[in-house]
Amino acid sequence: MSLEIINTPIFATIQDKGRFSYTHIGVTHAGVMDEYAYYIANMLLGNKKDENIIEIAFSNVEFKANTNTQIAVTGAFCEIFINNEAKNSWQTHNLKVGDIVKIGKFLEGSKVYLAVKDGFKIKKEFGSYSTTIKENLGGLNANRLQKGDVLKINSHNLFHTSRLKKSFHPKYEDTLLLRVVLSYQDEYFSDKEKQKFFSSEFTVSNEFNRMGCKLKGEAIKCDIDGIVSEGISFGAIQIPSDGQPIILLKDRQTIGGYPKIGSVLSIDCFKLAQAKPNTKIRFKQISIEKAQKKLKEFYNSFN
């Protein structure tokens, strides 16, 4: 009972919420880049909230069902074909033995999530299913999915289809407004530089991966060149000496020595995860109280 990968995916990995409590020895958090799409996919299937999932970062993944099951596809709007018949995302699909599923072109957004009923039957490593290739941890053999990989699953029959209401579908827009709490070294950025940071428009560069997202735009100057290396939070905004911000994401290094002006609210990092090179970015300051309220609302909405 399994799903079998039948083409060569460019970059698809098994992820979950992430690997926690090993940061102090340098192990990154990992986990899905877009938690919204992740929770919805598992919710549609009635899975455990933190069940594992496939994160697909580039188009064209094909697999074959070797058993009856149900899948959910969320995240980037993309072509989905089951035995060459076009299907929609943000809903579940029933599969029968022998069905061929193809995730084709991405139309809007940049990360597709594919969940299966009851999750993939693989072993957790250090508390998580998440794959971090450079740490040789998690996933299937700690690697991206390869042609011929067989992912064990449970067999399921006769499900009604669940869909996410259209009004809850995300919009992957060309301009993103990211909310930022000032933090870390913010006092080493003058009022003028902070004002520049919050009023300029930046662009997502090609240096955008699971570790982080480098932006292009007007250079932001910090009064200090570097700091003694310290722990880095999800969403932290590093300003290296070239003044181009780097937003640190799920596979970020655990400590680092660049000054940081603040941190992007996690929920907005999930939106950033769906951006592409040339997406426009603006920042808006938010208080820590408001940020925590927003994040609680986000997590509460899945309960």
| Residues lying near another protein in the complex (CB under 8 A) | 20-27, 125-126, 134-137, 181-184, 227-236, 253-256, 263, 265-266, 288-289, 291-292, 295-296, 299
The span from the CA of 59 to the CA of 118, in Å, is 25
- Token pair recorded at residue 263: 């941190």
Q: Considering beta carbons, is residue 107 or 295 the nearer one to another protein?
A: 295
The span from the CA of 34 to the CA of 53, in Å, is 12
Q: Smallest gap, in angstroms, from Cβ of residue 103 to another protein?
A: 31
Q: Smallest gap, in angstroms, from Cβ of residue 258 to another protein?
A: 13
Q: Smallest gap, in angstroms, from Cβ of residue 215 to another protein?
A: 18
Q: Considering beta carbons, is residue 168 or 299 the nearer one to another protein?
A: 299
Q: Smallest gap, in angstroms, from Cβ of residue 253 to another protein?
A: 6
The closest of 114, 121, 17 to 72, measured between CA atoms, is: 114
The span from the CA of 198 to the CA of 178, in Å, is 10
- Given CA atoms 179, 41, 211, 123 in this order, what sign does their dihedral have? positive
Q: Considering beta carbons, is residue 56 or 178 the nearer one to another protein?
A: 178
Q: Considering beta carbons, is residue 149 or 268 the nearer one to another protein?
A: 268
- Given CA atoms 194, 195, 198, 204 in this order, what sign does their dihedral have? negative
Q: Smallest gap, in angstroms, from Cβ of residue 289 to another protein?
A: 7
Q: Smallest gap, in angstroms, from Cβ of residue 279 to another protein?
A: 22
Q: Considering beta carbons, is residue 61 or 249 the nearer one to another protein?
A: 249
**Site of tokens 């289809």:** 161
Q: Smallest gap, in angstroms, from Cβ of residue 229 to another protein?
A: 6
Q: Considering beta carbons, is residue 39 or 63 the nearer one to another protein?
A: 39
Query: What's the burial of 108, exposed, middle or buried (CB within 10 Å: 0-12/13-18/19+)?
Result: middle
Q: Considering beta carbons, is residue 134 or 166 the nearer one to another protein?
A: 134
